[in-house]
């Protein structure tokens, strides 16, 4: 069994490196896939890279973070997938683009409500440290800045051309303090799009960096069958 870890926007497989190291420590085959973000690269190229990373494995678990779920949907059609894991993920429906996902899920209203409940001004605009890296160490923030790329428009405008998620054990993991994708928002999206509950862990949008052992524990736990 090979565990493939897919990054979100920016394409940095590095965000999974602590989880991968934890799986290696426990004797598992695990690989973090780096996406070549930028230029004209998008879902087609990311899917090709994911399939290549699975070469030689008869069984694969696909774990995706944030926008990486769009690539997971396509790669799952071409790989011998035996499990799916989503972490703070943009779970798509067939034919959806990453650009359409935000309005389709009611994202803006959900974040606004969460900001107001937490005492943050929702009208100040996006701030990386506030919404993405608030629970990382200064060293992690600095290292992350050296790995992340910029997404091409194609990554947001290409329809996610898949018919359905495979009927395999699936786990949805959400950070309790994810300010970018609030917990209640993720709970609703997982229920509406997969018919599944979430498992929450400490940390924010990059819980795979701030709390890798908790994430690894859930990655290795049996998932739930998708509700058809």
- What is the domain extent for residue 93? 2-225
| C-beta of residue 64 within 8 angstroms of C-beta of residue 71 | yes
pLDDT band at residue 125 using 50, 70 and 90 as cut-offs: confident
The CATH number covering residue 90 comes to: 3.40.50.1820
Distance from C-alpha of 175 to C-alpha of 89, rounded to nearest angstrom: 10
CA nearest to 40, candidates 146, 156, 144: 156
Q: How many domains is the chain partitioned into structurally?
A: 1
What is the model's pLDDT at position 38? 61
Composition of the chain by helix, strand, coil, percent to 5: 40, 15, 45
Claim: this prediction has a pTM higher than 0.85: yes
Task: Kindly list the distances between the CA atom of residue 150 and the CA atoms of 132, 188, 207, in Å, as whole numbers in the listed order.
Answer: 15, 29, 21
Report how far residue 126's alpha carbon sits from residue 205's, in angstroms, rounded to the nearest whole number.
14
Handedness of CA 157, 147, 15, 77 (dihedral sign): positive
Q: What is the pLDDT of residue 226?
A: 64
pLDDT in tens, 162-213: 999 999 999 999 999 999 999 999 999 999 999 999 999 999 999 999 999 9
Query: What's the mean pLDDT when you consider all of the chain?
Result: 94
DSSP string of 26-48, one letter each residue:
TT-EEEEPPP--STT--HHHHHH
Is residue 173 classed as helix, strand or coil in its secondary structure?
A: strand
Helix/strand/coil for 125: coil
pLDDT in tens, 10-66: 889 999 999 999 999 999 999 999 987 666 688 999 999 999 999 999 999 999 999
């Amino acid at each position: 069994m090979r565990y493939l870890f897919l990054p979100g926007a920016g394409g940095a497989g590095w965000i999974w490196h602590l989880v991968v190291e934890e799986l290696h420590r426990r004797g598992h085959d695990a690989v973090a896939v780096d996406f070549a973000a930028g230029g004209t690269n998008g879902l087609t190229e990311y899917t090709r890279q994911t399939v290549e990373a699975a070469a030689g494995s008869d069984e694969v678990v696909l774990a995706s973070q944030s926008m990486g779920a769009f690539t997971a949907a396509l790669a799952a059609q071409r790989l011998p997938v035996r499990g799916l894991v989503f972490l703070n993920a943009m779970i798509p429906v067939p034919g959806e683009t990453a650009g359409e996902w935000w309005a389709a899920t009611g994202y803006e209203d959900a974040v606004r409500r969460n900001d107001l409940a937490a005492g943050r001004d929702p009208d100040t605009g996006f701030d990386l440290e506030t919404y993405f890296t608030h629970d990382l160490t200064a060293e992690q923030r600095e290292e992350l800045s050296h790995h992340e790329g910029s997404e091409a428009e194609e990554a947001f405008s290409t329809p996610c051309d898949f018919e359905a998620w495979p009927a395999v054990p699936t786990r949805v993991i959400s950070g309790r303090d994810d300010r970018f994708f609030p917990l209640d928002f993720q709970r609703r999206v997982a229920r509406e799009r997969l018919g599944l509950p979430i498992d929450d862990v400490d940390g924010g949008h990059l819980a795979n960096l701030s709390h890798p052992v908790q994430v690894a524990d859930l990655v290795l736990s049996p998932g739930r069958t998708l509700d058809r």
